[in-house]
Amino acid sequence: MPFLQLNFETGGCDPELLESACFEAGALSVTLSDAADAPIYEPGPGETPLWPRVKAGVLFTAGTDRARVIDAIEKSLGSALPSHTFLELPDQVWERAWMVDFKPMRFGKRLWIYPHGHEVEAADATVVRLDPGLAFGTGTHATTAMCLQWLDAAELTDKEVIDYGCGSGVLAIAALKLGARRALAVDHDAQALLATRDNAVQNGVEAQLEIVLAQEEPRPADVIVANILALPLIELAPRFRECLRPGGEVVLSGIMKEQAQQVLDAYRTDFEMRTFATQDNWVCLHGTRRKT
């Protein structure tokens, strides 16, 4: 169905009060997002911070009286609404709309991520079909792309791989498509585990994939790929040592350049560490667990 969308920057408006005012005015949904490219990477425990500048996108049914909406919101807020615009959104299949800009992507020499509905053109391609749903990880972000590039270049035949913080499961699925014998997908988010299971089924690798919550203890593996954030990676260093067989490899991503040294320092005792790749402001590290 078509919609009418109200867009504006929130200014000094209290987000909860603003959302309440919009819903009272008949809104179907309220989406708050970053208005100034100021991402929040690692909030503290229990914190849910917003960006310095926040924009709101508020959906109403098509044909809603615009003047009535503004009047109702302003009465609830007790103040004038910041500068705003209305946009008419045509009818479309909204749950698939994000796929419009999601094109086949190549990582390394042979690995490709293909959205559903696209034909594979490369004859020697190793293809992962991906529909990430609500979970993070399509390969479009630099942190994921560097992990995929490492997997493409690695010798994974008959190895066991752990994808720690699996998101959509793209790294675990790619590892299996590239020759790994088994993969373990680990995440604390139930939605991510559901997306991983669905994507594994779509790629025909569900029999080789085990999916577990992060608090469960995984069995030893040959490779760990963890695309999360610097602070969790530092905390996980002892656990990753226990999860890797001697000589096993660890790939760490989600690390900003200024955080790389801290992560390296946390792993140097038990791992031979190096920088595998950098992209934009992100670093991907690779290490081998010492045998003694």
pLDDT tens digits, one per residue of 87-128 = 888 765 444 544 455 567 889 899 988 776 667 666 778 988
Sheet containing strand 221-227, strands side by side: 209-213, 182-187, 160-164, 221-227, 244-256, 282-289, 271-279
HEC letters along the chain: CCEEEEEEECCCCCHHHHHHHHHHCCCCEEEEEECCCCCCCCCCCCCCCCCCCEEEEEEEECCCCHHHHHHHHHHHHCCCCCCEEEEEECCCCHHHHHHHHCCCEEECCCEEEECCCCCCCCCCCEEEECCCCCCCCCCCCHHHHHHHHHHHHCCCCCCEEEEECCCCCHHHHHHHHCCCCEEEEEECCHHHHHHHHHHHHHCCCHHHEEEEECCCCCCCEEEEEEECCHHHHHHHHHHHHHHEEEEEEEEEEEEEHHHHHHHHHHHCCCEEEEEEEEECCEEEEEEEECCC
Closest CA to 127 of 170, 185, 94, 87: 170
What pLDDT is recorded for position 135?
Answer: 42
What pLDDT is recorded for position 209?
Answer: 96
Q: What is the pLDDT of residues 208-262, one digit of tens each?
A: 999 998 777 667 899 999 999 899 999 999 999 999 999 999 999 999 999 999 9
252 neighbors 246 (Cβ within 8 angstroms): no
Can you tell me which residue has the tokens 């299949």? 93
Segment among 28-42, 97-111, 145-159, 274-288 with least mean pLDDT: 28-42
Dist. CA 170–CA 147, nearest whole Å: 10
Whether the predicted pLDDT of 37 surpasses 70: no
Beta 105-107 vs 111-114: how paired, if at all? Answer: antiparallel
The Cβ of residue 24 has, within 10 Å, a number of other Cβ atoms equal to 12
What pLDDT is recorded for position 34?
Answer: 64
Whole-number average pLDDT of the chain: 84
What pLDDT is recorded for position 2?
Answer: 79
Whether the predicted pLDDT of 180 surpasses 70: yes
287 neighbors 250 (Cβ within 8 angstroms): yes
Residue 137, Cβ density class (10 Å: 0-12 exposed, 13-18 middle, ≥19 buried): buried
Dist. CA 22–CA 245, nearest whole Å: 55
Dist. CA 25–CA 121, nearest whole Å: 50
Alpha-carbon dihedral 142, 145, 146, 148, rounded to 10 degrees: 160
